[in-house]
């Protein structure tokens, strides 16, 4: 699973990753893959086994967004498009289509973004993203998973807050916490999942308030992202918001 999209919508990565990968779209008026089995990399197992980039693969997720204690649901559909050459690399464009329904009688617009992923030798990385209004893809540098794939691997990236306060810079530390988690989502149970923890805090603002970011996301072998939980919280307890993403369907 993180860049402001327009005046009404933000894109959260982490998962922007990190999944903050997670490919989730959130409105401001209420916060709203090649399968490689057994393929070895220089550091051991291929990261692509946990984030497949094969053309034609599809995922459907249930979204639960909570802002100001008001939860509502949405749907996210992710599709791997045909490979495309970009910046001298052969990458997989991944189309992310999100619908968040209606709030207080107002229908929220569907949002569409295409993100370009590939393995750069150090992990699965987002190289660029293209939103509705972008004439061309814009460069990004966000890792979903890094080598070696084992407990204790960590990396730090710069992101921006999305929910509680907008576009505040924050250094996010990503850490592989487990490679054996079991996760149960609407699509079923998944074993031997990698769990990655992402966390960071902004520097204090003029009032001394700090915004903390926490995300856990799970990658299942030969499936990819099956669940993510992203939360932002203000230290003065004035605001807290979260997005939960759970896999409902998977086709390869």
CATH number at residue 150: 2.40.360
205 token code pair: 């603002």
For residues 37-48, average pLDDT? 62
pLDDT tens, residue by residue, 216-252? 999 999 999 999 999 999 998 778 999 999 999 999 8
Whole domain around residue 103: which residue ranges?
Answer: 3-251
Up-side HSE of residue 135: CA atoms within 13 Å toward CB? 0
Give yes or no for residue 36 having a pLDDT over 50: no
Confidence grade of residue 79 (pLDDT, cut at 50, 70, 90): very high
pLDDT at 35 over 70: no
* Digit-coded pLDDT (tens) for 149-171: 999 999 999 988 988 888 899 99
Q: Taking the CB of residue 214, how many other CB atoms lie within 10 A of it?
A: 16
| Mean pLDDT, residues 34-47 | 52
Higher pLDDT, 193 or 18: 193
The three state secondary structure string of 150-212 is CCCCEEEEEEECCCCCCCCEEEEEEEEEEEEEEEEECCEEEEEEEEEEEEEECCCCCCCCCEE
Q: How confident is the model at residue 12 (pLDDT cuts 50, 70, 90)?
A: very low
Please give the pLDDT value at position 232.
Answer: 94
In whole angstroms, what separates CA 7 from the centre of its chain?
21
CB 228 within 8 A of CB 217: yes
Please state whether beta strands 24-27 and 188-201 pair in parallel, antiparallel, or not at all (unpaired).
Answer: unpaired
- pLDDT per residue as tens digits for the range 86-143: 989 999 999 999 988 665 555 566 789 999 999 999 999 999 999 988 999 999 989 9
What pLDDT shows up at residue 26? Answer: 43
DSSP 48: G
Give pLDDT tens digits for 166-222: 889 999 999 999 999 999 999 999 999 999 999 999 999 888 889 999 999 999 999
How far is residue 78 CA from its own chain's centroid? 11
Other beta carbons within 10 angstroms of residue 106's beta carbon come to 10
- Are 31 and 163 spatial neighbours (Cβ–Cβ below 8 Å)? yes
Q: pLDDT at position 184, please?
A: 98
The total number of structural domains in the chain stands at 1
- 100: closest CA among 6, 162, 12, 32? 32
């Amino acid at each position: 699973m993180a860049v402001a999209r327009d005046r009404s919508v933000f894109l959260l990565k982490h998962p922007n990753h990190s999944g903050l990968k997670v490919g989730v779209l959130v409105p401001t008026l209420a916060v709203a893959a090649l399968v490689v089995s057994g393929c070895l990399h220089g550091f051991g197992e291929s990261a692509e086994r946990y984030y497949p980039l094969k053309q034609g693969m599809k995922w459907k997720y249930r979204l639960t967004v909570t802002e100001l204690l008001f939860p509502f649901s949405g749907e996210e559909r992710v599709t791997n498009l045909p490979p495309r050459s970009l910046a001298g690399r052969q990458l997989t464009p991944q189309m992310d289509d999100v619908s968040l329904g209606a709030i207080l009688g107002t229908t929220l617009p569907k949002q569409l973004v295409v993100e370009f992923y590939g393995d750069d030798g150090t992990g699965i990385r987002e190289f660029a993203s293209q939103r509705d209004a972008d004439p061309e893809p814009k460069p990004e540098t966000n890792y979903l998973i890094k080598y070696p794939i084992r407990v204790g691997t960590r990396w730090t990236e710069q992101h921006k807050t999305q929910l509680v306060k907008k576009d505040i810079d924050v250094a996010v530390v990503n850490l592989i916490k487990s490679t054996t988690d079991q996760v149960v989502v609407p699509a079923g149970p998944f074993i031997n999942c990698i769990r990655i923890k992402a966390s960071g805090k902004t520097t204090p603002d003029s009032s001394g308030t700090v915004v903390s970011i926490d995300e856990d996301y799970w990658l299942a072998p030969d499936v990819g992202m099956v669940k993510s939980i992203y939360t932002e919280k203000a230290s003065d307890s004035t605001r807290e918001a979260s997005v939960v993403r759970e896999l409902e369907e998977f086709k390869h």
